[in-house]
A and B are shown apart, each in its own frame.
Chain A
Amino acid sequence: MMSNTSHKENFIKGLVKENPVFVLLLGLCPTLGVTSSAFNGLGMGVATVFVLVMSNLVVSLIKNFIPDKVRIPAFIVIIASFVTMVQLLMEAYTPALHEQLGLFIPLIVVNCIVLGRAEAFASRNTVVSSLVDGLGMGVGFTLALTLLGAIRELLGSLSIFGFRLMEGDGMLVFILAPGAFISLGFLIALMNWLKDRSAGIKR
């Protein structure tokens, strides 16, 4: 059993040290695809948190019953079930968001973070630490997507979370796919610079 401090570390590592988007560079398809606005990024993040936490929970619960040779198909069935549930629930209760994210929700199934955490963490750790890991990774993913979405929305449509800050047209490129790569590149550079600085490395 892990102590409380290591649970805290376990949670925090998903936010900064092993942030799925900025450090592990996993799940880039939804990251680049849906972050044309801050709200879309947040919505995608929350949906992913749900799937991550639930699949980590179930995988860690039944890890001993799953024979090694079929563990990947078993994980995928579990993940796909949760993703379909999220999709149905979103369609029922947040139709506007569902319309926006549409195509990208089913793609959570093949998001490397979800399968990656099930395989690398939940199938080897206790239920509680798997839950914490899923939550940390999910929140890290959500933060990254919201930040990226906010930057692209600000530069591309001059608004934030749908509130217009200025009149006029933004820089269109930031709404389009190339803008996603450009913004992500600068964000990763910034993260690395901050990391180096806090470690005392001068450049």
Chain B
Amino acid sequence: MAKTKSSFVNLIVTLAVITFVGSLSLGFVFDWTKEPIAKAQMARQLKAIEAVVEGYDNNPVTEKYKVVTLDGKDSLEFFPATRNGKRIGTAVKTKSGLGYSGDIWLMVGFDKAGNIIRIQVLEHKETPGLGSKMTLPSFLNQYYGKNPGKVNLKVKKDGGAVDAITGATISSRAFSESVQMAYETFQSVKHDE
């Protein structure tokens, strides 16, 4: 078969047809994967919440709400954990842009009094082997059970009580900052029983 000539009309028609077919098939795939993607994202959030608060029987993801931070620049997602309709804790999704590279996203679990139950690192782009150690228990354990209102959870260099990760003070500082922001936002609103 002879090759299509590079005439003006042919160029336009060919490209138009190819882009049309491309977008059409992409539309189908998008539609097809929409539900599984939403499900996967929900499962991921639930897993993170499960890791930071325990013993709830509701679905915190469907009941989530947003609270504006104290400086009013941002708002954090709150996932209420209830048992038999009673509030037992809250998972707060918080972030810091002060990390070594990119945003650090954390899920922090608070009990009703504002004590940190556990923390899960959702996403970070810190240096592997240095800042990435923020996901290890040896670092996270320093925060568990503490109340940021009573204990200064800054790194020791800033006068706080947290041992920064060796070689990753910036990452540790960003981590503490985002936990602090979650706590202050958490305290700024009343939570229903």
Contact = CB atoms under 8 A, between A and B. Distances in A.
Interface of A: 36, 62, 64-70, 73-74, 77-78, 80-81, 84-85, 88-89, 91-93, 95, 99, 156, 169, 172, 175-176
Interface stretch (B28-36, B63-71, B86-94, B177-185): B28-36
A74 B18 contact: yes
B129 A84 contact: no
Contact of B14 (A74, A84, A176): A74
Contact of B22 (A65, A77, A93, A95): A77
Interface string B1-36: 111111100110011001100110110011001001
A84 B19 CA distance: 13
A88 B37 contact: yes
A64 B10 CA distance: 12
Contacts of A69: 6, 11
Interface of B: 1-7, 10-11, 14-15, 18-19, 22-23, 25-26, 29-30, 33, 36-37, 40-41, 43-44, 123, 127-130
A80 to B, nearest CB: 7
Given A84-B26, A89-B33, A78 B18 contact: yes
Nearest to B44: A95
Nearest to A86: B29
Nearest to A89: B33
Contacts, number: 78
Contacts of B127: 176
A67 B18 CA distance: 12
B15 to A, nearest CB: 5
Contacts of A81: 22-23, 25-26
Contacts of B14: 65-67, 70, 74
A76 B129 CA distance: 37
A3 B3 CA distance: 25
From B19, B41, B129, residue with most partner A Cβ within 10 Å: B129
26 contacts: A62-B18, A64-B1, A64-B4, A66-B18, A67-B4, A67-B5, A67-B11, A67-B14, A74-B14, A74-B18, A78-B18, A78-B22, A81-B23, A85-B26, A88-B30, A89-B33, A91-B37, A91-B40, A92-B37, A93-B40, A95-B40, A156-B128, A172-B130, A175-B129, A176-B128, A176-B129
B15 A74 contact: yes
A80 B22 contact: yes
A93 B36 contact: yes
B9 to A, nearest CB: 10
A65 B13 CA distance: 10
A93 B35 CA distance: 11
A91 B33 contact: yes
Given A67-B11, A95-B44, 15 more contacts: A64-B2, A64-B3, A64-B4, A67-B10, A68-B6, A69-B6, A73-B15, A74-B15, A85-B25, A89-B29, A89-B33, A95-B40, A156-B128, A156-B129, A175-B128
